[in-house]
Amino acid sequence: MREPWVVGVSGASGTPYAAAVIRGLLDAGEAVDLVVSRAARLTIMDETGRPFRDGHWERDLTDWLGRDLSGADVRHWAAGDLAAGPSSGSYPVRGMAVVPASTAACAGIAIGLSKDLLQRAAEVNLKERRRVVVVPRETPVTRSHLEHLIALHDAGAVVLPASPGFYGAGAAASGAQLVDFVAGKVLDALGVGHDLFRRWSGDLGAGHRSR
């Protein structure tokens, strides 16, 4: 039976994190169900110059990820389709990552708003006690946003801010390495293997550690 990971992309800045997580899941041989919010489409265009359209999602996803998706197990669901598979707890999935997670998405998930399929799918995965990782990126944060993050934590989600570590690659860390660090932490939280960053080995001279 197919059991994908749902990846929800909301409208916060940080769509490269989403692309890296999707690539990591596919590299691990995992199936992916993708939900891109309406606001996220604008952010993808702004950050990459590429469109993301429901009617051309395979071509647009190929361009966004920069790889051939032939043989990849990817399914796309329109954000406005509240009758889609991930909207039901009986639809088999392994869990979900919301990356990046805007303040609006965090609030909607925390209070059970189900404004769109992304929020509904996250709520469903929480109620089914599946793994849910939420990756807020916006900073600074207000009290209300912190309260929503606490509510998500208390509901069972892993709140994983997009806070890259510099110690693995040092001062010369590239943007791609910093993105991969965050994506790797998301995959760790999902329990999916990867080689996106080098881990702490106990060798103080190596300078490689992950916390």
Residue 203 confidence (pLDDT): 66
The domains of the chain are located at 5-190
Residue 193: helix, strand or coil by DSSP? coil
Which tens digit of pLDDT belongs to each residue from 144-170? 999 999 999 999 999 999 999 886 665
Q: Cα(139)–Cα(31) distance, rounded to whole angstroms?
A: 32
- Cβ atoms within 10 A of the Cβ of 154, count? 9
> Which token pair is 107?
């609030």
Give phi and psi for 6, each to the nearest 5: -90, 130
Residue 201 confidence (pLDDT): 73
Cα–Cα nearest to 34, from 69, 1, 5: 5
Residue 165 confidence (pLDDT): 84
Residue 144 confidence (pLDDT): 98
Which tens digit of pLDDT belongs to each residue from 11-48? 999 999 999 999 999 999 999 999 999 999 999 999 99
pLDDT at residue 1 greater than cutoff 60: yes
Please provide the average confidence, as pLDDT, over all residues in the chain: 94
Q: Cα(5)–Cα(137) distance, rounded to whole angstroms?
A: 21
Q: Which residues contact 199 (CB under 8 A, 6 or more apart)?
A: 208, 209, 210
Q: What is the DSSP letter of 37?
A: -
Tell me the CATH class for 5-190.
alpha beta
Strands of the chain (E only): list them.
5-9, 32-36, 74-78, 95-101, 131-136, 158-159
